[in-house]
Structure 1
Amino acid sequence: MTRLSGKCYCGAVSYEVEDAFVYAANCHCSNCRRTTGSAFKPFAGIERQKLAVVKGEDALLIYGDAENHDAHCNACGSLLYSQVREAAWVHVALGTLVDAPTIRPTHHIFVDSKAPWYEITDGLPQYQGHKE
């Protein structure tokens, strides 16, 4: 299985993840917009055990609880991934990957709370909440 590398902006934290993502989307919820400072967060979902922090685990800032949280670099603030579904899955922030994954986002979620100044123009399916 191909492994992809990813890292934060300052390079204090690096991770590897299998190129075996199960789904990918663009999330427009207000929390994702705040954590990324962008109109949406492109992410890909994979089982938690397929991601490993290979450098700087002690430099992670965990926002949330042990099972469901966002993992940021505590030096530069980059959002690297979100641990979800009671720690069974991670949503990797696609912008932190150094290598290109084979998966691409297939839909937009939480468009009911998208930034009013951003217009979605790509033609991908749009969902008010999670994908139905």
Structure 2
Amino acid sequence: MNMNDKSNKIKGNCLCGSILFEIVNDFAKLYFCNCNQCRKITGSAFASNLFIDVESFDWLAGSDGIAIYKVPNRDIAKSFCRKCGSGVPWPSSDGAMMIVPAGCLNGEPEVKGKFRIFTAEEPRWSTDFELARAHQEFLD
């Protein structure tokens, strides 16, 4: 898809706003990864990552403020803003794809398929979300 075509774009940024990017909003897959490394990298039950061709991605600001930690002996990395620590996109090891943390997007991604992976490593405390009481805001 042509990156000059603004009709199907979505922007994203880190929490402090110093890192900004734009991406074609057309994702083949969204992976919810439950592996131990992704849980440690995110500090959450799973990582929510989108994958897209590098040609469909543009940094708009702050790419020089990004640090990347690569997990030794694995094809896993964590890219984050040096100011606020927010997870931001990073290139795949072969440089062909960008891995985009879904939570840093400023809108809803258009996704063709969603997949939970490494479910054997999923902790019991993170299952049965439908049984947890839902609230519209933080509770006191």
Q: What range is the shorter-chain TM-score in? A: 0.7 to 0.9
Contact 1:9 1:76 in 2 (8 A): yes
1:80 maps to 88
Q: With the length of structure 2 as denominator, give the TM-score of the two structures.
A: 0.75
Q: Which amino acid aligns with 1:38?
A: S
Q: With the length of structure 1 as denominator, give the TM-score of the two structures.
A: 0.80
User: Which of these two proteins has the greater Rg computed from alpha carbons?
Assistant: 2
CA-atom RMSD in angstroms: 2.3
CA distance in 1, matches of 2:123, 2:36: 8
CA distance in 1, matches of 2:82, 2:48: 21
Q: Say if 2:46 is the partner of 1:40.
A: yes
CA distance in 2, matches of 1:48, 1:120: 35
CA 68–35 in structure 1, closer or farther in 2 if over 3 Å, else same: closer
CA 120–105 in structure 1, closer or farther in 2 if over 3 Å, else same: farther
2:78 maps to 70
CA distance in 1, matches of 2:32, 2:76: 19
Please, which runs of 5 or more residues in structure 2 have no aligned partner?
131-140
Pick from 67, 78, 84 the counterpart of residue 61 of structure 1: 67
Please identify which structure carries the higher helix content. Answer: 2
The share of aligned pairs that are identical, in percent, is 26
Q: Please list, as runs of the form range in 1=range in 2, the aligned pairs for 1:102-113 lying within 5 A after superposition.
A: 102-103=110-111, 106-113=114-121
Contact 2:30 2:48 in 1 (8 A): yes
CA distance in 2, matches of 1:80, 1:120: 28
Greater CA drift, 96-105 or 39-48? 96-105
Q: Please list, as runs of the form range in 1=range in 2, the aligned pairs for 1:1-132 lying within 5 A after superposition.
A: 1=5, 2-64=8-70, 69-103=77-111, 106-119=114-127
CA 104–79 in structure 1, closer or farther in 2 if over 3 Å, else same: farther
